[in-house]
A and B are shown apart, each in its own frame.
Chain A
Amino acid sequence: MRLFFALLMMALSLSPVFAVEPGEVLDDPVLEARAREISKGLRCVVCQNQSIDDSNADLARDMRVLVRERLVAGDSNVEVTNYMVSSYGDFVLLKPPLKKSTYVLWFGPLLIVGLGILTLFIFYRRRRKLVAAPPEGLSDEERQRLDALLKDEE
């Protein structure tokens, strides 16, 4: 009996995880594929870090159904996404769009890497200069001090 349950649990964990319920799936496989693609890019606003395609939340389900309804009504993928953005804002997009207010987000990391490379470059150039020009021998003054110190020690 135990073994049976263990195997059952394993079988369950192996099956792919879909939140999409059988009743929601469209008959037209092309439209359904488009619906899946759109759903994967839309954030579930309840659970926030899942797409509506992954989420079991009630609102996510209603959003999936709405996506499908609009596709059936003849909307393009962009039109469906734009409809969701018009009510929830860019927040509903899992991938933030590239625009003026998100430049820092998209290019900030590049800028920081650039600064890092520049810092390294300057650091190594300075060090090479130091290595290239080895210090000159001791000056007379230094030699006298060194002698004095050595004598002290004796």
Chain B
Amino acid sequence: MKRFMYLLPLGIFLVIAGYFAVGLTLNPRDMPSTLIDQKVPAFDLKPIKGSTRGLSSEDLKGQVTLVNIFGSWCVACLTEHPFLMEIQAQGLVPIYGIDWREKNPDDGPKWLARRGDPYTLIGDDPESKAAIALGVTGAPETFFVDKHGVIRYKHVGPITPGIWKRSLWPLVQELRKQ
């Protein structure tokens, strides 16, 4: 026992290095959502400018839906946008939008007019009412809601074709079966 005591500092170092190796590569923005397997919190958002229907939590029932938080100010939303258009064009799953924190009520509609609108319905959320209720920390975030209006998954960051094919599309199909 005593003979190996000189290895103790090395052992302690390895343990600490191990913790750092894992801890420093974790993404601090990856936070577990407390809302997984909970009903979508109640919200009722007004329509964006130029539209007649807004979005309420009641709209998210009866079928599997995606709820996407976006904003015209959000750069990552721009990278995600063409792929959302593709999902809509292929009719894979309805996407509902929450237009979050537009400084000017014209900004969101203008952004969509220029690039296309992949959303079935859009709610305007200038004061983060729905965003806070949903525990949103940044845009884009996408919630996967099952037909009972229960949140089953939250994807943080842009949806890329790769992630969609690997995990998100299989998830949608899985939720449809239930």
Contact = CB atoms under 8 A, between A and B. Distances in A.
A59 B127 CA distance: 9
B170 interface: no
Contacts of B34: 85-89
Interface residues of A, number: 16
Given A63-B128, A66-B132, A87-B41, A46 B137 contact: yes
Contacts of A31: none
B49 to A, nearest CB: 20
Contact of A62 (B33, B35, B132): B132
A22 to B, nearest CB: 17
Interface of A: 45-46, 48, 58-59, 62-63, 65-66, 84-89, 91
Interface of B: 28, 31-35, 41, 101, 127-129, 131-138
27 contacts: A45-B31, A45-B137, A46-B137, A46-B138, A59-B101, A59-B128, A59-B132, A59-B136, A62-B101, A62-B127, A62-B131, A63-B132, A65-B127, A66-B127, A66-B129, A85-B34, A86-B34, A86-B41, A87-B34, A87-B41, A87-B132, A87-B134, A88-B31, A88-B34, A88-B135, A88-B137, A89-B135
